[in-house]
Chains A and B, each alone.
Chain A
């Protein structure tokens, strides 16, 4: 099966049993922002704003291309933003404006 049907028969993360290359036993200490992103996920779950299943689905919904190109926590934060838009908690314009402000102030 090599046609586009592969894209609809399995969601991007439904990969169990597909086979693949040898396992590289990588260990990767989290960057500070990645750990903050993980803590954010837990806090969003505590407040029932985004639960684990919504997060998992939100990552799958990013689609095959984004899932392949982004790293683990890059996918998470992008999924959180989309879910917050869908729930009407944030708007894309607010986030864009805030990101410009954060970038302009430079340092964390």
Chain B
């Protein structure tokens, strides 16, 4: 598929009037929204699912943001035992921090080092560690990233402004429906005196996908 087709599809989608809030009921739903409403209501009428479950899951989705991932990364930076457990069993160790997994996925934490930079993709669809990062960004789900990340990762990284030195291996990991990956970025220099909370504030979503690294804080640069 060309990018023009992809964009055309999105232009088409955005041309259908659709509300961004539950309150806005004046607009007419489009064909696929009508299908969503219909499938959901039929399944509720059959008592296969409940309205309350849908609402509860929307709240769960809204509660998951990269801030959770940042908390995990900051803990891993300050606590070597935690980091070891996290690398041995990502899911169980996140659950230690009270982060529940609402799906049947395993979490594997990929640690960046002086020698290796990790990048995560889902070439087939959009598998992503949603319980700890929330829903993936649009570009993660679109074809250019999925088609290119495995074959020309350094070029892809450069488009994100990330230049990995030639003597550092770039390792790309492809996700599956049951195996999800989180990059443990390198702790930036000049942060020895930072609290865990301050460290968490430096961690970005893109760094946990691996398309970015974490720069030293501005105040620590050009000392």
A-side contacts of B150, CB under 8 Å: 16-17
CB A96 to nearest CB in B, in angstroms, measures 9
B36, B43, B60, B177: which contacts A52 (Cβ < 8 A)?
B177
* Contact, CB under 8 Å: A33 / B37: yes
Number of A-B contacts (CB under 8 A): 196
User: Roughly how many angstroms separate A39 CA and B40 CA in the complex, as a whole number?
Assistant: 10
Nearest chain-B residue to A49 (Cβ)?
B48
Is A3 on the interface with B (CB-CB < 8 A)?
A: no
Number of interface residues of B (CB under 8 A): 71
Chain A positions 51 through 71: 1 when the CB is less than 8 Å from some CB of chain B, otherwise 0: 111001001100000011111
* B38 engages A98 (CB within 8 Å): yes
- Tell me if A103 is interfacial: C-beta within 8 Å of chain B: yes
Q: Is B219 an interface residue (CB 8 A)?
A: no
Instruction: Say how far A65's CB is from chain B's closest CB, in angstroms.
Output: 10
Of A29, A42, A60, A98, the residue contacting B42 (CB under 8 A) is A98
Which residues of chain A (24-42) have a CB below 8 Å from chain B? Answer: 24-33, 35-40, 42
What residue in chain B is nearest A71 (Cβ atoms)? B13
Chain B residues numbered 55-111 whose CB sits less than 8 Å from any CB in chain A: 55, 57-58, 60-61, 102-104
Complex: how many Å from CA A36 to CA B18?
Answer: 13
Across the two chains, which residue of chain B brings its CB closest to A24? B139
Contact surface of A with B, Cβ cutoff 8 Å: 13-33, 35-40, 42-47, 49, 51-53, 56, 59-60, 67-74, 77-78, 80-81, 84, 89-90, 94-95, 98-99, 101-103, 106-108
List 5 tightest A-B contacts by C-beta distance, closest first. Answer: A16-B123, A39-B57, A71-B13, A52-B177, A28-B138
Given contacts A14-B123, A16-B123, A23-B160, 5 further A-B contacts (CB under 8 A): A20-B144, A27-B137, A77-B36, A95-B35, A102-B38
